């Protein structure tokens, strides 16, 4: 039986004005699990109106009050943790162990972090000229649009709604058309935790309809976008009409450098997590392995053995280590990239195709894939966004850095070494918003997350996110009411 879900506007679930719907598929077997109302431009307008009306009351609540409601939301997510984990696995294909241990607790932790932040984020008092007081307020922007991709829908609710709401903004969020279910389930918790009607509105729909309209909307003061670099560019153009503020979290092509003095067991395991977690559908995935010649054979042998042993299966089974990709179109795109790699002289070391196990044939599965490739080839420069990792070798530190910096992206990068000086030296030279040393893909609500160059600009998380969701207002006071000499007339 399939569920039916409406748009969430002004605190209520509602149909799209033109009654359009979209089907949500289970990536494990391609069956329809829900139909969801599909927002068009007029529905986005309704959502923006609701958020506009809700803004004065929400923004004038004391920070501690907004914080209290976000803390309650974190508690409510935890109280429904099993249901959220199951729903996220069913909808996205993430293995249930991952959604249980990572996605759901991280979402609650992020709301809790920003709940705590709401009454601690302060303005400041610049030391200006004698006789004057200057204070700087951090004010919410107003109605904020948020457009989210399909790889971590629930977690991105925490990352985006947390700081936006803590700062006093109201929100219109457009989740991905492929995976809207956990976001809509979250909406069911708002009333009980005290997040009033209109403060958060959720309009599932397609990018070229609901998304493009939200990006161009005159009454939206800021847009936070997570998605591909190509869509990011169209968001920049769409935002020009009202010069709305932008935050762009775009694609990546993470370099993962293995030096010959690394702990190889840790490096092999950490590098497998870096690429195969969430089937490689992560902007920060370590999708380019760059391995020092002297340990290349040993590392690659162990890595390929691990990749080939990963258990693919039903995301709802606790034995499953890797689930399906989120859509059939995306699985086909990954397959196309295997052909591109081979055409360019790449050597297939593992995977390269959907698995042929009978129980996985109806789903959107793809085997963990390892390909030896020239670091200048297309598959080493373009984002594949699947369980697809290239591997190439380097002679010395300088060459490793040169290869790592070959792409236009600059989101996440990793390096494995036991030489502390080298670790810091190399981290400083990588063109990347985040660097992991002897680990990969660590994230935390307190640590800024974001990229440089074609990976976008702006930061999620931490105090940086609070700056992203507020404007500075500088107020000057002439303390002694003196008239400065340059316009004195008496
Ligand atoms: P996408 O760009 O196709 O879509 C992202 C979102 O934008 C979806 O909600 C989509 O409906 C919407 N959209 C599409 N066209 C639009 C338009 N013209 N105007 C407004 N909205 C539009 O990306 P995707 O395929 O859903 O996600 C994968 C991409 O997201 C990858 O490139 C990945 O690296 C990136 N990503 C980045 C981060 C990060 O934090 N840097 C995190 C996760 C994913």
Distance CA 261, CA 274 (A): 19
Averaged pLDDT for residues 246-266: 98
Residue 87 reports pLDDT greater than 80: yes
Best residue among 93, 207, 385 to mutate for probing ligand 1, ranked by most atoms within 8 Å of CB? 207
The values of phi and psi at residue 443, to 5°, are -135, 155
How much distance in Å is there from the Cα of 209 to the middle of ligand 1?
A: 14
Output the CA angle 228-86-180, nearest 5 degrees. 40
Q: Cα(141)–Cα(169) distance, rounded to whole angstroms?
A: 6
Residue 481 has what pLDDT?
Answer: 85
Among 120, 71, 72, 159, CA closest to 468? 159
Which one is the CATH code of 255-437: 3.20.20.100, 3.40.309.10, 3.40.50.720, 3.30.413.10? 3.40.309.10
Question: Does pLDDT of 316 surpass 80?
Answer: yes
Nearest atom in ligand 1 to the alpha carbon of residue 455 is 41
Please give the Cα distance from 457 to 390 (Å, whole number). 26
Q: Of ligand 1's atoms, which has the minimum distance to the CA of residue 176? A: 9
DSSP for 11-70, written as a single string: TEEE--TT--EEEEE-TTT--EEEEEE---HHHHHHHHHHHHHHHHHHHHS-HHHHHHHH
Q: Does an H or E element contain 403, and which?
A: helix 397-404
Cβ proximity of 464 and 121 under 8 Å: no
- Which is it for strands 245-249 and 456-457: parallel, antiparallel or unpaired? antiparallel
The string of pLDDT tens digits covering residues 264-277 is 999 999 999 999 99
Over range 100-110, report the average pLDDT: 98
State CA 451 to chain mean position distance. Answer: 11
pLDDT tens digit sequence for 7-23:
999 999 999 999 999 99
On the question of pLDDT at 465 being above 70, the answer is yes
Query: In whole angstroms, what is the distance from residue 166 CA to residue 108 CA?
Result: 14
Mind listing the pLDDT tens digit for each residue in 207-244? 999 999 999 999 999 999 999 999 999 999 999 999 99
Q: Active-site positions?
A: 249, 283
Nearest Cα neighbor of 312 from 383, 388, 387 is 387
Main-chain dihedrals φ then ψ at residue 104, nearest 5 degrees = -70, -50
- Centre of ligand 1 to C-alpha 205, Å, is 13
Q: How far apart are CA 180 and CA 166, in angstroms?
A: 23
**How far does residue 60's CA lie from ligand 1's centre (Å)?**
33
At 191, the pLDDT band (50, 70, 90 cuts) reads very high
- Domain boundaries along the sequence of the chain: 3-250+451-475, 255-437
Beta strands 7-9 and 12-14, pairing class: antiparallel
Ligand 1 is surrounded, with C-beta below 6 A, by: 147-151, 174, 176-177, 206-208, 211-212, 215, 226-228, 231, 234-235, 249-252, 283, 383, 385, 411, 451, 455
pLDDT of residue 489: 72
pTM: 0.96
The size of the chain, in residues, is 490
Q: List % helix, strand, coil for the chain (3-state, nearest 5).
A: 45, 20, 35
433 alpha carbon – ligand 1 mean position (Å):
19
Instruction: Round to whole Å and give the CA distance between 195 and 214.
Output: 22
Among 91, 103, 149, name the best residue to mutate to test ligand 1's pocket (greatest count of ligand atoms within 8 A of Cβ): 149
Listed in sequence order, the residues at least 6 apart from 49 whose beta carbon sits closer than 8 Å to its beta carbon are: none
Residues 126-143, mean pLDDT to the nearest whole number: 97
Please give the class, per CATH, of domain 3-250+451-475: alpha beta
Which is it for strands 21-25 and 32-37: parallel, antiparallel or unpaired?
antiparallel
């Amino acid at each position: 039986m399939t569920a039916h879900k409406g748009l969430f506007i002004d605190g209520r679930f509602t149909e799209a004005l033109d009654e359009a719907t979209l089907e949500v598929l289970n990536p494990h077997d391609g069956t329809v699990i829900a139909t969801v109302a599909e927002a068009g431009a007029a529905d986005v307008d309704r959502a923006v109106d609701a958020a506009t009306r809700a803004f004065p009351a929400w923004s004038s609540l004391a920070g501690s009050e907004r914080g209290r409601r976000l803390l309650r939301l974190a508690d409510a997510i935890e109280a429904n943790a099993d249901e959220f984990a199951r729903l996220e696995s069913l909808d996205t294909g993430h293995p249930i162990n991952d959604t249980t241990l990572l996605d759901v607790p991280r979402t609650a932790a992020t709301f809790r972090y920003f709940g705590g932040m709401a009454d601690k984020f302060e303005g400041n008092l610049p030391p200006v000229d004698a006789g004057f007081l200057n204070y700087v307020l951090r004010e919410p922007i107003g109605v904020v649009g948020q457009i989210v991709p399909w790889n971590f829908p629930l977690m991105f609710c925490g990352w985006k709604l947390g700081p936006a709401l803590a700062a006093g903004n109201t929100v219109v969020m457009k989740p991905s058309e492929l995976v809207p279910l956990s976001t809509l389930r979250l909406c069911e918790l708002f009333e009980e935790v005290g997040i009033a009607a209109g403060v958060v509105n959720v309009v599932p729909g397609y990018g070229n309809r609901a998304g493009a309209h939200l990006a161009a909307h005159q009454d939206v003061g800021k847009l936070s976008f997570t998605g591909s670099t190509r869509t990011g560019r169209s968001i920049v153009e769409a935002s020009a009409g009202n010069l709305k503020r932008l935050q762009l979290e775009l694609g990546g092509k993470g370099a993962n450098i293995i030096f010959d003095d690394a702990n190889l067991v840790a490096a092999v395991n950490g590098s497998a997590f870096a690429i195969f977690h969430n089937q490689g559908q992560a902007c920060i995935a370590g999708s380019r392995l760059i391995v020092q010649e002297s340990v290349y054979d040993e590392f690659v042998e162990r890595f390929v053995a691990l990749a080939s042993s990963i258990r693919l299966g039903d995301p709802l089974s606790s034995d499953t280590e890797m689930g399906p990709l989120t859509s059939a179109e995306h699985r086909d795109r990954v397959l196309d990239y295997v052909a591109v790699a081979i055409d360019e002289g790449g050597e297939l070391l593992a995977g390269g195709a959907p698995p042929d196990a009978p129980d996985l044939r109806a789903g959107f599965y793809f085997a963990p894939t390892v390909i030896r490739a020239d670091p200048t080839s297309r598959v080493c420069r373009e984002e594949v966004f699947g369980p697809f990792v290239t591997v190439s070798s380097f002679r010395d530190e300088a060459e490793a850095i040169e290869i790592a910096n070959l792409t236009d992206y600059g989101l996440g990068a990793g390096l494995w070494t036991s030489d502390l000086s080298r670790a810091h030296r190399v981290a400083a030279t990588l063109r990347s918003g985040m660097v992991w040393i002897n680990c990969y893909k660590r994230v935390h609500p307190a640590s800024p997350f974001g990229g440089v160059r074609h990976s976008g600009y702006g930061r999620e998380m931490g105090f940086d996110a609070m700056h992203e969701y507020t404007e500075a207002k500088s107020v000057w006071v002439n303390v002694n009411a003196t008239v400065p000499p340059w316009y004195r007339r008496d």
